[in-house]
Chains A and B, each alone.
Chain A
Amino acid sequence: MGSLTRTQRQRAVRLTLYALFVLLAVAFVLVADWEAISSSFFLVEGFTGTWQDFVFVGARNTILYTIIAFVGGFVLAMVLVLMKLAPVAPFRWLATVYIELFRGLPALVVILFMALGVPIAFGWRPPGGTIGAGLVGLMLVAAAYMAETIRAGIEAVPKGQTEAARSLGMSGPWTMATVVMPQALRIVIPPLTNELVILIKDTSLLFVVGMAANEKELTTMARDFMASGPSAGTATSLVFACLMYLAITLPLTRVVAWLERRQKRSR
């Protein structure tokens, strides 16, 4: 080895790594049971026979539930942020307690609480049935995360902006609405889009509340097509659901990356 130059050594290491990769790939192809893989994960009938349900019911509902939870969560988050900035201390405490509570609990537990616990205790009939109650749970959790994100955005707006507005005689609320908030929201667009991606995946938790045929989102649909239908007894429907999730989330994560690059440039 001592007689090799630096470049030669580097080339040798790279070749070894390539060889190792090829070896692993070949081993995988030889060892894998292709018969079993294709019949349990990629059953053709499973795709051709269910795609309409997956696209027009499953994906549609997943997107619908995401939008409802996101919009509801955003509105609630704005209320929480304003409470956190309130001059009256009890409002600040309340917002802090809320945020710490819902960030500290698993979303699944909150969903179960809203869908099962609260209706049983108070005879509450949530709008939209159990699924509506589950969505309220998702919304409550999303609001806690979004409130923290938006608050960080507000703190990232330089203090001089507020001082300039106040020195011109603008009131506190007007300063917040026309000077601070517009700049803060621009700052939090990438992290909020990230929040949206997380929420898309978290709608799968609604699986636990149970839903009628036309209410099913992707995960419930996949689970049910494992038990019945053209691909029953195989995991083909799970693979289908995975592909649908990726078709929604991957473009969005690309958008987040683009937004972040653009924001870095404009600074």
Chain B
Amino acid sequence: MTTRLHPTKEVDHGAPAIEVRDLHKSFGDNHVLTGIDFHVNSGQVVCVIGPSGSGKSTLLRCVNRLEEPTSGQVLIEGIDITDPETELDAVRSRIGMVFQQFNLFSHMTVLRNLTIAQQRAKKRSRTEAEEIARGNLDRVGLSDKVDAYPAHLSGGQQQRVAIARALSMDPDMMLFDEPTSALDPELVGDVLDVMKTLAGEGMTMMVVTHEMGFAREVGDKLVFMADGVICEEGDPREVLANPREVRTQEFLSKVL
């Protein structure tokens, strides 16, 4: 099924998956993002790190317009989502998002969590949606939890269900907002494993994280943010080993 994303523009598969141009975001007098230029190429895994309050989550949330940018442009596969003509819901269904607090629908079973948006937003039949959902639960290793409610799952299991829910929409790319920060340490590994597998399959990913090991191992690019700007970016192994900027050096000396 193809929904038009924009009345006049077409998806450009040659364009970067995500491109952010001169993005500004303020909450009242608080300028959280002050001029971000940034892109994620198709198939890339880009990790965004930085101290809390640096604006990295806000940047991520601007990419699917959960946060309304104050000015600047966000292009998804060449389509400007800050343009009011753009079919935002249709674009969003192509961008999977995983939250720090999982945000599973607590009144629905795991299976229903995975099928509701497929049926409502992608207009898939119930049978088709359930088949896709079961396939994705299998991918994250939770096929035995179809009928469970979120409250009966561990944090790690909930986060893997949330990933399966996003994958069930067949997204072109995935956004991760500190996906392991709310987890007990022993549960982090399972979630990271799922994310590594995804990256290995060629999924385009933008990951806000504190997991430097993940960034080093699977990241194609590392972005360091501080005070609403991108301070430094480059090959993760390079940046983590030899940060050029003082601000980056300070941050890494505290977390590594």
A interface list, Cβ under 8 A from B:
158, 160-161, 163-171, 174, 178-179, 182-183, 186, 266
Contact = CB atoms under 8 A, between A and B. Distances in A.
A179 B105 contact: yes
B166 A168 contact: yes
A183 B108 CA distance: 10
Nearest to A169: B93
A157 to B, nearest CB: 9
A174 B95 CA distance: 19
Interface string B102-113: 011111000000
B107 A167 contact: no
Given A168-B166, A169-B169, A170-B117, A160 B103 contact: yes
Given A168-B165, A169-B169, A174-B120, A163 B93 contact: no
Contacts of A170: 89, 116-117, 120-121
Contacts of B89: 166, 169-171
B166 to A, nearest CB: 7
B214 interface: no
B122 interface: yes
Given A163-B66, A167-B64, A178 B116 contact: yes
Nearest to A179: B105
Nearest to A175: B120
Contacts, number: 67
A166 B165 CA distance: 13
Contact of A183 (B96, B107, B169): B107
A182 B117 CA distance: 16
B158 to A, nearest CB: 12
A52 to B, nearest CB: 46
B66 A166 contact: yes
- Of B99, B107, B165, most buried by chain A (CB within 10 Å of CB) is B107
- Of B101, B120, B162, most buried by chain A (CB within 10 Å of CB) is B120
B97 interface: yes
14 contacts: A158-B101, A161-B105, A165-B116, A166-B89, A168-B93, A168-B121, A169-B89, A170-B120, A171-B89, A171-B120, A171-B121, A179-B105, A183-B107, A266-B151
Given A163-B66, A164-B99, A174-B120, A169 B92 contact: yes
A165 B66 contact: no
A165 B118 CA distance: 11
Interface in B162-220: 162, 165-166, 169
4 nearest interchain CB pairs?
A: A169-B93, A168-B117, A164-B103, A160-B103
A182 B107 contact: yes
Nearest to A171: B89
A163 B99 CA distance: 9
B36 interface: no
A163 to B, nearest CB: 5
A264 B9 CA distance: 51
Interface in B114-171: 116-117, 120-122, 151, 162, 165-166, 169
